[in-house]
Amino acid sequence: MRVMAEKSKRTVYTEAMEIYHRAAELIGLDPRVRLELEEPDYEHIFYVTVKLRERLVPIPKDDQGKYKDLPESRVTEGLDPLADGRFIIRGKALLNGDVSARDGVIRLPGGLYQLRRAEVKRFKAYRVQHNQARGPYKGGTRYHKDVSLDLFKSLAAEMTWKTAIADIPFGGAKGGIKIDPRHYSKEELERITLRYMYRLKDLVGPTRDIPAPDVGTTPEVMGWMMRQYTDGERERHNLRGVVTGKDVRIGGSEGRVKATGQGLAYCIEEWFADRDDTVKGKSFVLQGFGNVGSNAAEILCAMGGKLLAVNDADGTIFNPAGIDPVKLVTYVYENPGNIKKSVLGFPEAQEVSKKDFWEIPADFAVPAALGGEITGEIAERLKVKMVAEGANGPTTPEADRVLQSRKIDMIPDIIGNAGGVTVSYYEWLQNLRMEHWTEAEVNARLERAIKTNYRIIRDIAQNKPRRTTTHDSRRFCVGRETDPRSAAMVLALKRIEAHYQLEGFSQ
Ligand code: NAD
């Protein structure tokens, strides 16, 4: 009975692994390999403690009466606003301002605030190392409030599939911290990151496990991680490849920032090419305007695509005449007043509800935010011909079934967003060789890699084994047609299985 109960327990991880089991059945994956891949090699959970800065916290309405007569303070510098309505207060604020305080309360133009002492805080942190049959563990670092072991397990497994599909010599991993980074100052995030890497140091390394950015982390965060790992090491320059996604000035690769969006755009271009068509004049809706979404939008619009609507964590904007992604990037990222870094309030579009967003008719949809966003119910309402997954796991298994029954085609995440890790590999190679490639060189390699593997997946899906001048799918087709997501997984599993078959198992 216990076994039955355990079997029926559905989690993010078991859902994510459904496709794995389907493809494993399809190719008759060796039972021992199947067990090896079914659970991660290692699951690390640990804690990071850090001392925060003093904060100004808005005081509750009920307590405001007794400060009616408190004069407004004049503070022109030294206050850093946070997305939760609080401020970090630095010494400059008191030195150069004209501040009146009572019981630690001050009045600012936005209201009354109480000064809070610097707190010490503990954050839960993770690193899941899923598999290393094909090479060192590899995967992003996520700073987000809704993370869990289960989620990191699915994301780490997804990296194992993705590195195999991209045919790069890495395995899969993922990690991060349960935190909303927008509620902390840059200096606090640096301290938190340093402590995270301090704890990780024994587990990672350029030939062991190589973290990269993901939701809520940036090239700057990667720079801090690299510094913490290499600090004091005698051969520290040889260790630059411990993280990828670094700033190009400190060993990052040209083209890495755009790589995931670029890879997705190559897949979309190939999808249209298969239909003797191009992206020019095709409309799309986009969820998520972060690294992946904003870069994909810029590249697709430069190819002639038309961006109709964008949904992010704070709302949705829509313009049937098209949204200019370059202007939107300026509005979101180069506007100091836009603390939440949201598309909301963009003057050249109207606000619509998230419900309406998913019903906007367009040629294709690009989910590039979080997982599980396209549910079965949303899949019923979508008015597009194709979904190109930029995010990891944006479509639930139920939604997958609905999309298939509605004949809405799919570019699955494991090839759709593989551009990021592919250029991470190029970055790692450049670090090892102490080289610096041009963006054109990076993109030429990326285009070849993505399109070659995309074509193999298409051939598996259509059961058309062939060898052309660009690719060879004969080894991978399974003797019958299948959906694109299963086809991508078949490619991953066949490439991983070869390592176990040809190298055997250490006992
Ligand atoms: P990011 O932090 O730069 O941006 C995330 C975006 O998603 C933001 O615009 C945010 O507002 C939006 N968002 C968050 N919660 C939302 C919600 N509930 N509803 C709607 N929008 C929401 O992150 P990113 O690096 O662009 O990553 C986006 C996705 O792509 C993630 O699933 C990530 O795992 C995946 N991915 C990223 C990379 C990469 O190189 N950055 C590579 C592969 C996959």
**DSSP result, 16-63:** HHHHHHHHHHHHT--HHHHHHHHS-SEEEEEEEEEE---EEEEPPGGG
Is 174 designated active site? yes
pLDDT at 505 over 90: no
End-to-end Cα spacing for the chain? 33
Closest Cα to residue 356, out of 389, 374, 376, 382?
Answer: 382
Count of Cβ atoms closer than 10 Å to residue 284 Cβ = 24
Q: Is the CB of 290 under 6 A from ligand 1?
A: yes
> What pTM did the predictor assign?
0.91
Strand partners, 177: 125, 143
The pLDDT value recorded for residue 1 is 41
Percentage of the chain exceeding pLDDT 70: 98
Q: What average pLDDT score do residues 166-194 get?
A: 97
Copy the structure tokens of residue 271: 């999808």
pLDDT in tens, 90-137: 888 878 788 888 989 999 988 999 999 999 999 999 999 999 999 999
Q: Span 432-442, mean pLDDT?
A: 97
Cα 300 to ligand 1 centre (Å) = 17
Q: Which one of 138, 162, 174, 451 is the catalytic residue?
A: 174
Position 27 pLDDT exceeds 50: yes
Report the length, in residues, of the chain.
507
**How remote is the CA of residue 52 from the centroid of ligand 1, in Å?**
26
Output the pLDDT for position 8.
62
Question: In the chain, how long is the greatest CA-to-CA distance?
Answer: 81
Q: What is the structure's pLDDT at 92?
A: 81
**Ligand 1, atom 35: nearest CA belongs to which residue?**
391
At 184 the three-state DSSP class reads coil
CB of 332 within 6 A of ligand 1: the answer is no
Structure token digits, residue 163: 């590195």
Residue 5: pLDDT band with limits 50, 70, 90: very low
Tell me what pLDDT residue 7 has. Answer: 55
For ligand 1, atom 30: residue with the closest CA = 391
Task: Give the pLDDT mean for 390-405.
Answer: 95
Query: Does 4 have pLDDT greater than 70?
Result: no
Token reading at 486: 């299963």
**Which residue CA neighbors atom 14 of ligand 1 most closely?**
313
- 42-92, pLDDT tens digit by residue? 999 999 999 999 999 999 888 888 899 999 998 888 889 999 999 998 888
Residue 296: per-residue pLDDT? 98
Round to whole Å and give the CA distance between 157 and 493: 12
